[in-house]
Structure 1
Amino acid sequence: MTTITIKNDQITAQFKTLGAELFSLRDINNKEFIWEGNPNFWGKHSPILFPIVGALKNNTFEYNGTAYTLPRHGFAREMIFEVIDKKEDSVTFSLQSNEETLQKYPFSFELQLSYTLIDTTLQLGYKVLNMSETILPFSIGGHPAFAMPKAFDNYQLQFDGLESLTINLLEDDMISDTTKTIEIPNQKLNLEYKLFENDALVFKKIPSKLVTILEENQPILKVDYTDFPDLGVWTLVNAPFICIEPWFGYSDTPNNSGKILEKEGILLVEPNSFFQTNYTITLL
């Protein structure tokens, strides 16, 4: 595994070739904004979720009459990526399907992750190329974890334009149709661990496309996921981080057929075509 660094005159970002994972984002004063990855809580920093987001029912899906097994959030985060482009302020990583991936996921693909610094913003780009002769079904998402060095209840999340949040509740890791509404006066959700006692907060087709993290009501960082339909917000009880997760797709629903082409929220890319999107993290 290799470490890659990019920087400009305002911020510095570092990545691992394992999972092409962002593990450090620091400002000009050397303040760190990414969770350190302490394995006593959670040993990741900002994994890529591909080719599924969340969990499959029984960890399996069906394609052309054959059952395949995939772990929660897929396999890309555990694989070594190749660096295919590198400049002082940007880097692009690539993962291509191989014998190992085809046993779990019978589709030929190339996944490119690009990271670009623009002033105090990190742009995270995703490109999925269909290299096969059939439709490519997948979900994809980010999972950046942001450090919270102060007490957890000193932090708030501001959701642009919303006075309430509607979450889809989880049942045995599946996304249920049961929803819960949380009122957020002044567009702010005060963070407390009891919000996460039943795992992540999952927002299907969330209308707000910008979340700002506030420390003692002062904005420190914002995540803009304009092109993403879904969002997850997650932490572990007593852990000093919060994850803001832009998603295309989510876990299986309890009534899911198990057929990957029928999965709710799945993306379908035609042969010899590609899917491309990005989101940004801005230090304030």
Structure 2
Amino acid sequence: MNTTISNSTISASIKHAGAELFSLKSNQNKEYIWEGNPDFWGKHSPVLFPIVGTLKNNTYTIEGKEYQLPRHGFARDMEFQLIHKTENSATFSLESTTETLTKYPFEFELQLIYTLKEASLHIGYKVINKSGKKLPFSIGAHPAIALPKNFENYAFEFEKKEVLKYHLLENDLISNKTKVLETTNNIVTLNYKLFENDALIFKTLESKSLSILENSKPYIKVAFEDFPSLGLWTKDQAPFICVEPWLGYSDTAENSGDLFEKEGILVLDNNQTFQSKFSITIL
């Protein structure tokens, strides 16, 4: 099933499977979200929960007991329930099940709240701890922005002038190797060589928004004030770019395996609620 919301400027369509955004269109019917062609990447904008990135050996421990979780967790592969809908907003809910408890021994509710405001789509996350104990988690976004022209016609424009130090991945884990993304007036022209070693992982950024330029003109903006970390990723020759606000990231090779000790993990007290949001604006 799918749900569509709209206003006079834009419309958004969301799959109930994974509560995944798969379309964001202007009122001229121009599409801004990647089509999900599996020849490159069969997703559009998955939610990353209860982890972001990859665990060492895809394994973690809680109180000495081992559990397995796939890259980016399980929420993106589960069916969400539509629990609230208006013309320009929709809220989806996923609650823990006997299946999730075998992978992640915590009772929770995860909500995704999509709201349109003028030319912006706001995507909110709500994590509710129903487990009766502290709940460790990470959460992140993975929207793929469609790039219909040649890849090199596009550029990133960072909100602030800063040293853009990113970490390299080794075997899907965060390494200690870093590089600096060189900019000219906060702008980086896209080329596939930037991503030849997989995603660029920024643990911290001063910028809280990133614009994509098309032929030097504003195309789309992703704002992520609530998210300290960011991933940037595409696949070779793919006509999209992922701008991924994160709270958390992959393990390092030195991780102990204890989820509560994982770098970047969030911990939510019993009966507490966590909220964050980011936005995608058509420029």
* Residue of structure 1 in register with 2:266 after alignment: 267
* Residue of structure 2 in register with 1:137 after alignment: 136
Instruction: Tell me which stretches of 4 or more aligned residues in structure 1 moved more than 6 Å.
Output: none
Find the aligned partners of 1:63 and 1:217 in 2 and give their Cα distance: 49
* Residue of structure 1 in register with 2:236 after alignment: 237
Find the aligned partners of 1:108 and 1:119 in 2 and give their Cα distance: 36
Following TM superposition, by how much is the alpha carbon of 1:133 offset from its aligned partner in structure 2, in angstroms? 1.1
* Residue of structure 1 in register with 2:54 after alignment: 55
* Residue of structure 2 in register with 1:85 after alignment: 84
Cα pair 1:164 1:187 within 8 Å, conserved: no
Find the aligned partners of 1:22 and 1:259 in 2 and give their Cα distance: 32
Deviations 1:210-263 (A, max 9, x none): 100000110111000011000000000110000000000000011000000000
* Residue of structure 2 in register with 1:37 after alignment: 36
Deviations 1:101-121 (A, max 9, x none): 000000000000000000000
Report sequence identity in percent: 59
Amino acid at match of 1:104: K
Find the aligned partners of 1:106 and 1:227 in 2 and give their Cα distance: 26
- Helix, strand or coil for the counterpart of 2:152? helix
Following TM superposition, by how much is the alpha carbon of 1:159 offset from its aligned partner in structure 2, in angstroms? 0.6
TM-score scaled by structure 1? 0.99
Amino acid at match of 1:93: F
Following TM superposition, by how much is the alpha carbon of 1:205 offset from its aligned partner in structure 2, in angstroms? 1.2
Find the aligned partners of 1:132 and 1:228 in 2 and give their Cα distance: 25
The aligned runs of 1:1-284 (5 Å cut-off) are 2-284=1-283
Cα pair 2:36 2:42 within 8 Å, conserved: yes
Cα pair 1:163 1:185 within 8 Å, conserved: no
Cα pair 2:129 2:271 within 8 Å, conserved: yes
Find the aligned partners of 2:162 and 2:113 in 1 and give their Cα distance: 34
Following TM superposition, by how much is the alpha carbon of 1:163 offset from its aligned partner in structure 2, in angstroms? 4.8
Amino acid at match of 2:64: G
Find the aligned partners of 1:115 and 1:15 in 2 and give their Cα distance: 9
Amino acid at match of 1:197: E
Cα pair 2:162 2:206 within 8 Å, conserved: no
Following TM superposition, by how much is the alpha carbon of 1:181 offset from its aligned partner in structure 2, in angstroms? 1.1
- Helix, strand or coil for the counterpart of 1:101? helix
- Helix, strand or coil for the counterpart of 1:146? strand
Find the aligned partners of 1:182 and 1:228 in 2 and give their Cα distance: 20
Cα pair 1:230 1:248 within 8 Å, conserved: yes
- Helix, strand or coil for the counterpart of 1:100? helix
Residue 211 and residue 22 in structure 1: after superposition, are their counterparts in 2 closer, same or farther (change >3 A)? same
Find the aligned partners of 1:86 and 1:48 in 2 and give their Cα distance: 19
Find the aligned partners of 1:64 and 1:163 in 2 and give their Cα distance: 40
Cα pair 2:93 2:109 within 8 Å, conserved: yes
- Helix, strand or coil for the counterpart of 2:40? coil
Find the aligned partners of 1:189 and 1:69 in 2 and give their Cα distance: 38
Deviations 1:133-176 (A, max 9, x none): 11000000000000011110010000111254110111111111
Deviations 1:16-58 (A, max 9, x none): 0000000000001100000000001000000000000000000
Find the aligned partners of 1:91 and 1:163 in 2 and give their Cα distance: 36
Amino acid at match of 2:239: P
- Helix, strand or coil for the counterpart of 1:58? helix
Q: Unpaired segments of 5 or more residues in structure 1?
A: none
Deviations 1:34-91 (A, max 9, x none): 0000001000000000000000000000001110000000000000000010000000
Aligned length: 283
Find the aligned partners of 1:279 and 1:90 in 2 and give their Cα distance: 15
Find the aligned partners of 2:192 and 2:61 in 1 and give their Cα distance: 37
Find the aligned partners of 1:46 and 1:130 in 2 and give their Cα distance: 24
Following TM superposition, by how much is the alpha carbon of 1:182 offset from its aligned partner in structure 2, in angstroms? 2.0
Find the aligned partners of 2:203 and 2:268 in 1 and give their Cα distance: 21
TM-score scaled by structure 2? 0.99
